[in-house]
Chain A
Amino acid sequence: MKHESVETNAGLLIILTLAVISVGGLVEIVPLFYINDTIEEVEGVRPYTPLEQRGRDLYVREGCYTCHSQMVRPFRDEMLRYGHYSLAAESQFDHPFQWGSKRTGPDLARVGGKYSNEWQVQHLINPKSLVPESIMPGYPWLATTPLDYSDIEQRMIALRRVGVPYSINQEEFDANVERFGEETAVMLDINRAEDNLIRQAQEGNFDGDRSFISEMDAMVAYLQVLGTMVDFNQYSEGYFAEFR
């Protein structure tokens, strides 16, 4: 076929263009869904609790991902600054994942537990009060806006449809007990979502005010769990390399 006949035939050009650009996706993305080693076998990774999930929704709503990535890459300088590189397993329940590629602010994949709740609250309200050179804007309304959790069950049902193992019946609950343990399985039960959310917010006291469940509670609960689910002391340096 002469190149000219492709260039002068719009329909053919469209079909061939689609065929060519599909190759990249077919070869690079599709196999990840069936290759055995894509997701590492590690203990500890679980879906987010209702409160953490609402925090994650707020993280997306406020556009945190436009400045913060959640992906520590396997380079020495990143290991030294942020800790162990991110695993595919750690974002297997993220829909959509927050890996990102733009770091105006630091990576947040391992920010959980690094700072106290009080620090996170103060920093979210007014970042410059703690880090004068910061260009991050403040999010003071998180502390004063009550958290809307009226639709938490619907949100979890939607995530369940795309494969997150939140349980909706006894059978699924038992499977979660088997997989994550009793305590976690209870948190993943859609039927108890609202109670779980309220209880975690009050016990965790993330925003420093037990009586008021604010958006700040959810946001800080989410930030404090990021990157903390896997105990990396359990695994040797070479273990994760076996999956690549």
Chain B
Amino acid sequence: MTPVAPVAHAPTRLVRGLILGSIGLVFAIPIVAMVEFTLRSGLAGGHDFSRWTALFQGGFAGPYRAVLVALGNSVGLAVGTVVLVLLLLVPTLLLVHLRFPRLRRLMEFVCILPISIPAIVLVVGLAPVYSVLGRLLGSGVWTLAFAYGITVLPFAYRAIQANLDGVDVRTLSEAARTLGAGWVSVLLRVLIPNLRRGILAGAFISVAVVLGEFTIASLLNRNTLQTSLVVVSKADPYTVVILSLLALTFAFLLLLVIGRLGTVRTGSRRRPTTGGQP
């Protein structure tokens, strides 16, 4: 690939360092403070790992059992939300892209809209819907996946649409059809493999959003990781910070994976080309 020429007014090394450093501090200070808080040993001062070891040795017994159940709920919800959103969004996006390109603006508007609606407003609208849902499907925590499907829509949409814009979906699907592939084969063997990066990024970012959501779960009285952390925090402020740190680490790792997906190129594992004929 051609190396990109340096931009004329690019910031100097020092300026870049300063910008990165100050942004890093904004993120690091609260996290370091949280870690420090969990390591405090009593009022006498000094630091140790007793709270961390107590939590893990205790095997989440007693009051933390609820957190474990809530974690299970949240992970289940995250998976459910991702499946729901991908099953609806991917075929719809492809259909709009291939068959109804004029609807693209509308689609974009509808998908981005939830980001501009505060969760509290969303809940006000969702509450009566959920009272009906509760009668029809019960009040299981999994029903939150419908609401979360709406909140993660903007993120999933952007991730998949960006990938879609970079792939000549029309030509690829037409090529596959002339080679004898029906629509299901086109979707499974050609389109999804080429949209893999966008789909995975959309899925991971959706998981991160679901694991961080509090307002909707709390106001609709569902037990998720976030709501249970608040409950625990009232009894034990230290443990809840440890759990928050763990959740943060998980989300960070998830974003790291998304970043990696963006750089991995198809086939780069194979040997590179060495010149060639026309």
Q: Do A and B come from one complex?
A: no
A residues at B contact (CB < 8 Å): none
B residues at A contact (CB < 8 Å): none
